[in-house]
Amino acid sequence: MLMNDDDSASNTTLCYELGKLRNDAVSIPRFRATSRLSSCLIHHCVLIRQCALGEIKISESYKMDVIKDVVKHLVDDQDSDGGTMTWYAKAAAMNSLVCMDSAAFCATSNRTLHTKIVEVLTDILGNEDEPEVSE
């Protein structure tokens, strides 16, 4: 069930929780592309984001790569003229970064990424042209 890439996070979560209850060693390899997970973390649907966050919680090997990818989406949008991300996609991305506790996670393991996270979030939240995101 865990190896099927069918967007069924409930199956993944169920397997993970059952394994924990049985005290099984749960070792899950990466089974979904980082780009696909990061696109789920920027999605406007809360359920899709929660499913992706659940996958990342189960398999920590995703976390750093997914954080980098989400931050890259935000930085690329800020660097482009006018930007193409909607305010709700930016809000979803920021919410995902906060839910993953990305700044604290990167503070000890990747200081450059930590600085970039703080910088991009500060820029977005301080931008008066994006009242929907900063309110």
Q: Are 67 and 102 in contact (CB under 8 A)?
A: yes
- For residue 17, the 8-state DSSP code is H
The number of residues in the chain equals: 135
Instruction: Find all residues with CB under 8 Å of 124, minimum gap 6, and list them.
Output: 74, 78, 90, 94, 130, 133, 134
Could you tell me the pTM of the whole model?
0.68
Establish how many alpha carbons lie within 13 A of residue 108's alpha carbon, considering only the half-sphere containing its beta carbon: 3
Please, which pLDDT band fits residue 134 given cuts at 50, 70 and 90? very low
1 pLDDT band (50/70/90 cuts)?
very low
